[in-house]
Amino acid sequence: MQERVVEIKTRDGEMNTYIYHPDRPGPFPVVVMYMDSIGVREELADMCRRIATVGYYVIMPNLYYRRYRSVDIDPVRILDPAYDEKFRLLWSLIDGLSNTMVAQDTGSLLEFIDSDPAARPGKLAIIGYCMSGPFVFRVAGEYPERVAAAASLYGVHLITDKPDSAHLIADRIKGEMYFGSAEHDKYIGMDELNAVKDVLEKARVRNRIEIYPHREHGFAFPARKAFHKGASERHWEVLFDLFQRNL
C-alpha cells in the first residue's frame, strides 16, 4: 500500500490531503472520500485503505483546512456535558462549511488528480458520510462529466432552503446516486429521503435509496456506539458493486 500526504492549493489556502493506492503500477480508478464532521482521522484512513486494497486510488481532503490541519474530537463523548468545549468547536467547524465551498475545493482536487500519474484520468466515484452527504450530492451536479457514481451514507441536510442546496442542480447529474440511511436516524427522516427520491426521479437520475433496518446514525463507523458489523459490511458490498459497475 502506498500512502502519502500532499498539499493542494485552493483559492483559500493549502488543503492537506491524504492519498492511498496499491503498491503496484497504476493508474488506478479514483475514489474521493469526503470526511464526516469529526474530521480526518485513522478510522477514516482505514476505510480508505480498505477501498485502495482492491485496486483504487483513494483521496481524502481535510475539509477543515481553512482553520485546522487536524482536529481531535472524540465522537463517543459528543453528548458528554464535560465535553462541551469540543462540542461547540465541532458545530463551529460544521457551520463554517458549505456546499459551494466544498464544490470549489473539489475543483482544485480534480486538478491535482489530473496531474498525478497514479490516478486514472476521467470518471471517478465519490463518497460522503453524515455531514458530507449533501457535499457528494452537490458535487455530482457540479461535475457531471467526472462523477460516475456518488454514495451518501446517512447524509444529512440533503434538501435545504439555501441557494446552494444540492437538490437544486440534481437535473445536471449524469452518474449513479446511492443514498444509504439508518431506520432510526434523528438527523434525517423519511420525509426528506422521499423528497430526495422525488427530485432524482423527476431529473431521471439513476438512483437507489436504501434504509438499513434497526440501525442508527453512524452504523458504518467502527469507533461509534452505533456501529453494526452486519450493516457496515452491507454498505461495503454496496459500495464496491457501485464502483465496479460505474468505474
Alpha-carbon torsion 84, 96, 19, 33, what sign? positive
Q: Distance of alpha carbon 79 from its chain centroid, rounded?
A: 24
pLDDT digits (tens, 9 = 90+) for 33-65: 999 999 999 999 999 999 999 999 999 999 999
Angstrom distances, CA of residue 49 to CA of 36, 67, 168 = 17, 26, 33
Domains of the chain, CATH where assigned: 2-246 (3.40.50.1820)
pLDDT digits (tens, 9 = 90+) for 186-238: 999 999 999 999 999 999 999 999 999 999 999 999 988 899 999 999 999 99
Rounded to whole angstroms, how far apart are CA atoms 185 and 165? 21
